[in-house]
Structure 1
Amino acid sequence: MTHKMSICLIVLQFCFLLLLDQTEAKVSAVIVFGDSSVDAGNNDYIHTIGRSNFPPYGRDFYGGKPTGRFCNGRLSTDFISEAFGIKPVIPAYLDPAYTIKDFATGVTFASAGTGLDNVTSDLVSVIPFWKEIEYFKEYKKKLTIFMGAYKTNVLLREAFYILSIGTNDFLENYYQVPTRSSHYTVDEYENFLLGLMSNFVWDIYKLGARKIALTSFTAFGCLPLVRTENFLEGRACNEDYNKVARELNVKLNTLIIKLNKELKGIKVVYSGVYDTLVDAIQKPSSYGFENVANGCCGTGLFETSILCNKWDSKTCKDASKYIFWDSIHYSEKMNKVVSDHAMKTAFVPFL
């Protein structure tokens, strides 16, 4: 073999290895689990009052369509899918307008009102978290029929999994219903929830998942609904609630380190939304926001779901000036802020 041929072979091998690295980094699909922060309309197809498939929800979505997203437009996961170059909208698994071909590049199993704790989902009769995992198993079977076992395994290995859940466990469950708070201290309940999150990662790992983002607990003490309840302090953020969120996030980081050590070939990342929200609240003009305490819909103090409706004349005209769309959920613009931050930080290893 000549010297020139040896050099050519080395260059070819280098290019091949580089191509492999690019292939491994490519995300084949975005698969989503969680609550209303990432539900694209699954609740439209179950018997529950926890819906948003009516105006003014979706007024800034494509065609002004209320899809069941708890937002005036797209969710953070829609923007994330678009940023990965896949598609601009992630469909709900229960939406009959889509097929397994559509779901092959992205799907959400999320259900508004649900939580890690089964008791949470029972409160408003929504899809329990364990059922979301069952849907994922069903999805894998459908994929296998659609594209074969080998391609399915490759797709699921290269897919990006996002979990956004937990706020309802405290706001709807622990602080409102005595069942859990009478049996668990806050610290014990935090550990209980994180144990369920750990089980989730193990479950989807066994089903083929390798690239996973666990979304941090947000500053739920600053949600408009919580601020409205905090009237004795002039509707300030509830710092006791925010303290719980921060404690959970410290424990979540520890859990992520543990999972990355225990599970071979996995990459679990921490997607920190807490700091993003707090920064936007403290420096709204930096993001183009004007209102940080109210939702756009209605008075912005307590409206969500059926209380946020087209008959309320108080709904704002420009949701892009608001961090929150209703009293709990982000506006489309805030969802874009959250997704942009995640793509520039936590999700860089998957680009």
Structure 2
Amino acid sequence: MASPLACMGRDGYARCQVLLLLLALAVVVLLPPSSAVHGSGRSGGYEDISAIFMFGDSIVDPGNNNHRLTEAKANFPPYGQDFPGRVATGRFSNGLVPGDLLASKLGVKELLPPYLADDLQPNDLLTGVAFASGGSGYDPLTSTFSTARSSAEQLELFHDYKEKVAAIVGEEKMTRVISKAIFFTIMGANDIVNNYFAVPLRRHEYDLPSYIDFLVSSAINFTMTLNNMGAKKIGVVGVPPLGCCPSQIILGGSPSRECEPLRNQASVLFNSKISKEIDRLNAEWNGYGSKFVYIDIYYNLLDLIQNPVFYGFKEVKEGCCGSTVLSAAVFIAYHNACPNALDYIFWDGFHPTEKAYNIVVDKLIQQNRKYLL
């Protein structure tokens, strides 16, 4: 045990922080496996899932951008107004985001924390974290524009995670946690909306089908790199109906405020091509212990948009915090939100509300239950 003198000064304080982390992790290791690896409240036949890991963009970023110099952050009101404790954690919604909901509904833990959180606890590491960064994409140019962490940098964070956990609990246990975990990746929306359509650089290089081919190839390379790093079960989530986001409806200029068709066409094309590539991967890797799953978010969210009353929504085309491209992230810091977010599918110009996410995640789990076990 470090003496009080060892904790004096900046270097001493850092040493003590490391010692405390090691001690806490040692306690976790000594706990029974059900306590050390699994979250509380296991149910629904998901006992074999050790952890949840999330890669992606602002849809699943729970706060990794909080200390980053970028416009793509959400650690201020009105974000988080319906989060436990009404805290703006960096999640781009009024409350929980899909990573939290998946972790909770699959019985792992209640919240999926950001890997770069200041207060990350040992058990958080063992049961999964999110590496996602708001503004990121499969195209490296996308994260350059938004100063987000690129998909490659998110993989570097995962490499760092593996080394950190292996140094504390051992290589064997680290490998076991990863092999029994479910990995999710959800990117592509920023590539299509903020890169291809908003900035002319990629449009000078590619027509839309060619750019989608480039994105799909990048997504598959990302997925296979993740697999080579030890991930066995990988859910590749498609892109939502981007033309139906309030900001894209406005950009489309339709007098009747209908979904913008070209962005939806790009979404469908990306999803169609990536799902075929995932089928190909499964055929090639069948028998090697790896499982790749395409997860549709497009039609599940579109169902809410086309049938809002059935799901208890009143507003489809407006965001609770506004509907333009400037009605999100730092641009709405400390602005007022609508009186009742439960009426809205969209929280801001881009991101759904917790209620919408909750319904969609229930659908995703139901549709992919046999692949997640």
TM-score if structure 1 supplies the norm length?
0.90
Aligned to 2:290: 266
> After superposition, where does 1:148-227 map in structure 2 within 5 Å?
148-227=170-249
Aligned to 2:331: 307
In the aligned structure 2, how far is the partner of 1:114 from the partner of 1:216?
Answer: 15
Deviations 1:116-165 (A, max 9, x none): 11110011211111000010011011111121111111110110000011
AA aligned to 1:221 is: G
Correspondence for 1:77 among 81, 99, 107: 99
Question: Can you give the 5+ residue segments of structure 1 that lack an aligned partner in the other structure?
Answer: 1-21
Aligned to 1:33: 55
Change (3 A) 1:317 1:268: same
Change (3 A) 1:24 1:328: closer
Maintained 8 Å contact 2:315/2:343: yes
SS in 1 for 2:348: coil
SS in 2 for 1:182: helix
SS in 2 for 1:96: coil
Q: Which has the higher contact order (CA 8 A, sep 6+)?
A: 1
Aligned to 1:229: 251
Aligned to 2:38: none
Matched, 1:50 2:72: yes
In the aligned structure 2, how far is the partner of 1:208 from the partner of 1:85?
Answer: 22
Aligned to 1:5: none
SS in 2 for 1:268: strand
Aligned to 2:7: none
Matched, 1:296 2:320: yes
Matched, 1:316 2:341: no
SS in 2 for 1:327: coil
Aligned to 2:81: 59
In the aligned structure 2, how far is the partner of 1:126 from the partner of 1:207?
Answer: 22
In the aligned structure 2, how far is the partner of 1:62 from the partner of 1:37?
Answer: 19
Aligned to 1:145: 167
Maintained 8 Å contact 1:52/1:69: yes
AA aligned to 2:86 is: G
Matched, 1:331 2:331: no
AA aligned to 1:234 is: S
SS in 2 for 1:115: coil
Aligned to 1:95: 117
Maintained 8 Å contact 1:76/1:335: yes
Correspondence for 2:261 among 220, 235, 239: 239
Change (3 A) 1:341 1:232: closer
In the aligned structure 2, how far is the partner of 1:24 from the partner of 1:84?
Answer: 6
SS in 2 for 1:237: coil
Matched, 1:285 2:309: yes
- 158-167 or 230-239: which moved more? 230-239
In the aligned structure 2, how far is the partner of 1:229 from the partner of 1:49?
Answer: 20
AA aligned to 1:129 is: S
Deviations 1:272-291 (A, max 9, x none): 11001111111111111110
Maintained 8 Å contact 2:46/2:107: no
Tell me the number of residue pairs that the alignment of Structure 1 and Structure 2 aligns.
327
Maintained 8 Å contact 1:100/1:146: no
In the aligned structure 2, how far is the partner of 1:168 from the partner of 1:240?
Answer: 15
Aligned to 2:30: none
Once the 2 structures are TM-superposed, how far is the Cα of residue 234 of structure 1 from its aligned partner? 2.9
Change (3 A) 1:24 1:167: closer
In the aligned structure 1, how far is the partner of 2:204 from the partner of 2:70?
Answer: 27
Aligned to 1:11: none
Maintained 8 Å contact 1:229/1:235: no
Once the 2 structures are TM-superposed, how far is the Cα of residue 259 of structure 1 from its aligned partner? 1.1
Once the 2 structures are TM-superposed, how far is the Cα of residue 25 of structure 1 from its aligned partner? 6.8
Once the 2 structures are TM-superposed, how far is the Cα of residue 100 of structure 1 from its aligned partner? 4.2
AA aligned to 2:193 is: L
AA aligned to 1:101 is: N
Once the 2 structures are TM-superposed, how far is the Cα of residue 310 of structure 1 from its aligned partner? 2.7
Matched, 1:134 2:156: yes
Maintained 8 Å contact 1:294/1:301: no
TM-score if structure 2 supplies the norm length?
0.85
Deviations 1:237-292 (A, max 9, x none): 01111111111111111111111122321111111110011111111111111101
- Identity, % of aligned pairs? 35
Once the 2 structures are TM-superposed, how far is the Cα of residue 177 of structure 1 from its aligned partner? 1.5
